[in-house]
Amino acid sequence: MATQCILILSLLVLVNIVNGQNFLLLPSSEPTCTPQPVIVNTSCDNTPVSNCSCTTTTQLKRSSFPDGFVFGAGGSAYQYEGGAYIDGKGDSIWDNFTAAHPDKIMDCSNGTVAVDSYHRYKEDVAILKEMGLDAYRFSIAWTRILPNGNRSEPINWIGVQYYNNLIDELLLNVLFHWDLPQALQDKYYGFLHHDIVNDFRDYADLCFQLFGDRVKHWTTLNEPWTYSNYGYMEGSFAPGCCSPWMDQNCSTGDSGQEPYNVTHNLLLAHSAAVKLYRERYQAEQNGTIGITLVTKWFVPYYPLREDQAAANRQLDFTFGWYMDPLTRGQYPESMQCIVGDRLPKFTEEESRDLIGSFDFIGVNYYTGRYAYDDSKTVYANYSYESDPKANFTAVRADGQCIGPLDGSSWVYVYPVGLLDLLRHMKTKYNNPRLYITENGIDEVHDNTIPIWEALSDTKRVKYHIEHFCCLQQAIHEGVNVSGYFAWSLLDNFEWTAGYTSHFGFNFVDFKRNLTRYPKVSAGWFKWFLEKENQISQQSISYE
């Protein structure tokens, strides 16, 4: 099967050219920043994995997945491209955020150079093909084709040519992967203002015109929850907004109101782009369009009614926040009840446009958490974080971990959560067509370990085998899953973790010319895809 491209209409990207050997490039105007120490927590290493069984009667191999099932990997513009300030590209909010707040990035780095895919895309496509992947999921940088974000201003044809070249090398695309044009943030505060809906629709329109003859799978938004929560509740992601009482060095924000306003406009922008695509382009271009959502799976802290209700509320506030409007035209009842007047309301027309505004749903899943009731706590301030009246944790008071902890402090391995999430999609949301659009684990280090050690990622192989088993079981139960995209093709700039978090199947040597080296997992994935090899959960361990 020829490699496909699956596009995420990324509202922007940050790219810059490699400058000498300093690949973790920081603009000279940035404040002084001291990198944080890299600490690996091993407290849950011996926790058994809650997984799905691949038995001798259900062998795990490529042919055990349905005909036409797609296996791929993903990347995103700001995390991969580099070239942030060349060839007419405009600034994104991540360009400005990393320059103004290097202290919020673990190693004080940024995506100015990233892995330089802007110049090395042919090399990266060759890696995709060498691995035998069916498809590549990447995002378009809004500011690379519309530097100021507005369709009324000149198009950057150099940026358009870059994406034409990349698409021609491939053939899923994401329109927005968090890198909003800084010009729109300055003009009307970005997704806090309803004007963003028109600008996003115009940006999507241009992408459909320019690339829709070849791109057949579009994703409007990637993880709108992440954008709203970390960007407007915590302030840890661009544009860095939160309430003053959060004590997160935010210059502006309202953690109890703005996340809801931002999500509301994200959903309206999504539905506007989908409506446009269906009315003007879909019949002629014969493509599909959807949205990618992210969630953890929440299980009750203890088998108590209160904790089960807390787990349900937490899922509503994370996942139902988007799926309910997309399928029912309204926010979950639990959110309406708790948030009240702070929760924006859809008009009848907006509800109609939202319902069914997807041909598929992308699901990003990494980990699970225990949830417990917090309804009796009285907080001094409203915030999206406390609104669910539930808290969650990976480690219970008795020391029981939900799963072994991977390198990063948030990735506890819980494969059965993927199965439970997919079952939830089938029973509650009428079994829509799904793609697993991100799934993976990382290694944490400061790029000083020997290359041979960086390449020995047997833990990643085991992680994917265990999730493949759960994915296969979901398919056998009738869940409508059409593909799986691992995160990530390459090590890259991992947002607030900078270059200390390594999710790639391929190691990138950030100290020596950004050279790419295949890890053990890259060879394993190639082996799985090309041959009728049977694999089992017992074939490799986390140790």
Task: Convert the pLDDT of each residue in 212-256 to its tens digit.
Answer: 999 999 999 999 999 999 999 999 999 999 999 998 889 899 999
Give 350-395 pLDDT, tens digit per residue: 999 999 999 999 999 999 999 999 999 999 999 999 999 999 999 9
Residue 37 has pLDDT above 80, yes or no: yes
Write down the catalytic residue from 223, 234, 258, 350: 223
pTM for the full model? 0.93
Give 334-351 pLDDT, tens digit per residue: 999 999 999 999 999 999
Write down the catalytic residue from 81, 234, 258, 438: 438
The reported pLDDT for the residue numbered 537 is 52
Strands 70-74 and 4-10: unpaired
The residue ranges of every structural domain in the chain are 4-539
Q: How far apart are CA 291 and CA 312, in angstroms?
A: 22
For the stretch 299-304, contacts whose Cβ atoms lie closer than 8 Å and that sit 24 or more positions apart, written own/partner, are 299/368, 299/369, 299/370, 299/371, 299/402, 299/417, 299/420, 300/370, 300/371, 300/372, 301/370, 301/371, 301/372, 301/393, 301/396, 302/372, 304/373
* Lowest-pLDDT range of 54-63, 157-166, 426-435: 54-63
Mean pLDDT throughout 503-518?
A: 97
The reported pLDDT for the residue numbered 346 is 99
Give 295-328 pLDDT, tens digit per residue: 999 999 999 999 999 999 999 999 999 999 999 9
> Are 422 and 474 within 8 A, CB to CB?
yes
532 phi/psi in degrees, rounded to 5: -85, 55
438 carries an active-site annotation: yes
Give 69-124 pLDDT, tens digit per residue: 999 999 999 999 999 999 999 999 999 999 999 999 999 999 999 999 999 999 99
The reported pLDDT for the residue numbered 27 is 36
The reported pLDDT for the residue numbered 6 is 54
The reported pLDDT for the residue numbered 23 is 34
H/E segment holding residue 69: none
pLDDT band, very low/low/confident/very high, at 50 (cuts 50, 70, 90): confident
4-539 folds as TIM Barrel (3.20.20)
* Helix, strand, coil share of the chain (percent; to 5): 40, 15, 45
The reported pLDDT for the residue numbered 251 is 87
